[in-house]
Amino acid sequence: MSEAPVSAAPQWWRDAVIYQVYPRSFADADGDGMGDLEGIRSRIPYLARLGVDAIWLSPFFASPQNDAGYDVSDYRAIEPRFGDLDDFDRMLETAHAHGIRLIADLVPNHTSSEHEWFKAALAAGPGSPERARYWFRDVDAAAPDTPPNNWQSIFGGPAWTKTEDGKQWYLHLFDATQPDLNWENPEVHEEFQSVLRFWLDRGVDGFRIDVAHGMVKAEGLPDTGGDGTIEMIGTTLAPFFDQDGVHDIYRTWRPIIEEYEGDRIFVAEAWTDSAERRALYLRPDELHQAFNFDLVLAPFKAAEFRKAIDAEIANNAGVGAPCTWVLSNHDVQRHVTRYGGGEIGLARAKAATQLLLSLPGVVYVYQGEELGLNEVLDLPAEVREDPTFFRTNGEQIGRDGCRVPLPWTREGDSLGFGAGGSWLPQPADWAERSVEAEDGVEGSTLEFYRAAINLRKGLRGSVTGLTWLGDPGDDAFAFDNGALVCVVNFSDEPVPVAGYGTEVLLASTPLENGTLPAGPPDGFPHSHAGHAGAPRLPPRGPCFTRLQVYQLPSSLALTLIGSSSATRPYCSLTSWYSPASSRYRCSTGRPSAASEMRR
């Protein structure tokens, strides 16, 4: 694998593939059972071969880890379980040497209760400037057990906890060990501007902003409607989410990042009730990207996907921002499992991934999805760590199941995660989903991801937009992105695909009846039958998980195929390159022969 400095291409972030590393669970170099920065550094060549442009690294700062690092006690220090600042510098240098950028995860909505500021606030008492950095409110002597409003913690239970002396409440939208900062206080602004500079000076390429929609609270902290329960992964309006005032914060941050060379970016985790509201975070003087979770929430149905795709494209075009596409992350059930699990879930997941990689914009990949990992649903209560599980008395199972450490080898301690076991147990059958088991194996999910990501890389600059082809039905759709045609079959029946291109470039499941004839579309997706011998996206079958890559002489086809039964529908996806465009070649295999694309 060749090493290359990060690309100098302007606005790399408009069509990047960004891989989320969850530091606790990626790779453990020091054998303490928990991942670390040196573990990440040692696996950078793996990420380079996968073809990703950047890493989004979930929080690695000093933290008691009550919410897996989203409870920061020192924003300028590394969590000792993960290493130190020298380890960070080494990791960043290695990533850059391999052409991979690094986006840090900034947590500005709340600190840890172990943060110096919060400790000082508790020590200083009511009315102090220290308490003014957070949201403290007096306990009402007439109703001492009634919190200041009805807000509920997103992790369950009330969003207010009393101080030990019982005189005041403090606000925490998440765990009680994550007090919310008061962004009406100029000191909070100054501190975070300084934190931004600290990491920018150290060379990070940008920030993912945690709860970017939550920092400003509605004036007077009014009750929410209903019982006050708001889900983190939801679109309900609340007096503590998506308040207009957050945009003023980002207008002060944008000039700071612009001072630095290297096209650095902000990406918002902003849950809003519409794609229109999300786009407001992306105005030219605010943030560069915002995660679009619509496909995380969408059922695997053609119409739902199409609706979400159209909304994102239309709204982001209005502000000149790239679309983002996400299927999995550390907060949601892995998409293989969401789509039904097993072979069917995996086939759908691969098809959905290739669909994403055919869309204009930025694609986020969550660690382990390239191995086809499923959600681990049967973790025993005693190993769970997610505060959601505890704050709901186990009623909500929480997010540990998508955070189980990665399997790197078939055997050995923790399947190669590290020499000291893994902080969450891995299912035995992950041995066959390990990197070792999938590396270089035709048809493996890993080789499929490598081919699909590298194929997309080769299209860089050629994807111009999205034009729907034909009259999309309920079960399938096709679109042209300016560089290729992509056809997806979401249904449980094969659909004919002749006419959308001449050859298939990539398929998540091989086409029935081989290659494609040229010519105008033959009616897909209205006719499910097709004529005998016509190429068809298949129903589910053993061909499902196989990746097919074709060499194309003068036009390019990209194909993704999956399937499902009537009750557990399957999907297929195919796309081709437009003949008038450039030529591409794609093959899979060892690093030297790994998916190679050429214009």
Q: Which residues bind ligand NOJ (CB under 6 A)?
A: 67, 70, 107, 174, 210-211, 269, 330-331
d(CA 16, CA 305): 21
How near is the Cβ of 219 to ligand NOJ at its closest, in Å? 23
Residue 210 or 294: the one with the smaller Cβ distance to ligand NOJ is 210
How near is the Cβ of 407 to ligand NOJ at its closest, in Å? 22
Reported in sequence order, the residue ranges of 462-511 that DSSP labels E, i.e. its strands, are: 467-469, 476-480, 484-489, 495-496, 506-507
Residue 205 or 331: the one with the smaller Cβ distance to ligand NOJ is 331
Cα angle, residue 336 at apex, residues 437 and 453 outer, rounded to 5°: 65
**Catalytic site residue from 36, 53, 210, 286:** 210
For residue 582, count CB atoms less than 10 angstroms from its CB and return exposed for 0-12, middle for 13-18, buried for 19 or more.
middle
Say which residues have a Cβ less than 8 Å from residue 196's Cβ, sequence separation at least 6: 106, 207, 253, 256, 257
Q: Which of 279, 287, 370, 285 is nearest to 327 (CA)?
A: 370
Residue 67 or 369: the one with the smaller Cβ distance to ligand NOJ is 67
d(CA 223, CA 101): 42
End-to-end CA distance of the chain: 21
Residue 330 or 528: the one with the smaller Cβ distance to ligand NOJ is 330
How near is the Cβ of 3 to ligand NOJ at its closest, in Å? 32
How near is the Cβ of 406 to ligand NOJ at its closest, in Å? 18
Residue 350 or 391: the one with the smaller Cβ distance to ligand NOJ is 391
What ranges in 538-578 are assigned the alpha helix state H? none
Cα separations (Å) of 428 from 407, 410, 414, 435? Answer: 10, 10, 10, 14
Residue 249 or 355: the one with the smaller Cβ distance to ligand NOJ is 249
Residue given tokens 């072979």 in the structure block:
343
Q: C-alpha dihedral over 217, 222, 226, 230, to 10 degrees?
A: 10
Single-letter amino acid code for the residue at 191: E
Specify the DSSP class assigned to residue 515: S
Is 93 a catalytic site residue? no
Return phi, psi of residue 432, to 5°: -80, -5
- By beta carbon distance, the residue nearest ligand NOJ is 70
Give CA 60 to chain center in angstroms: 17
d(CA 132, CA 109): 15
Single-letter amino acid code for the residue at 331: D
Is 190 a catalytic site residue? no
**Catalytic site residue from 164, 201, 259, 382:** 259
Residue 61 or 174: the one with the smaller Cβ distance to ligand NOJ is 174
d(CA 11, CA 378): 43
- R_g over Cα of the chain: 24
Residues tagged active-site: 210, 259
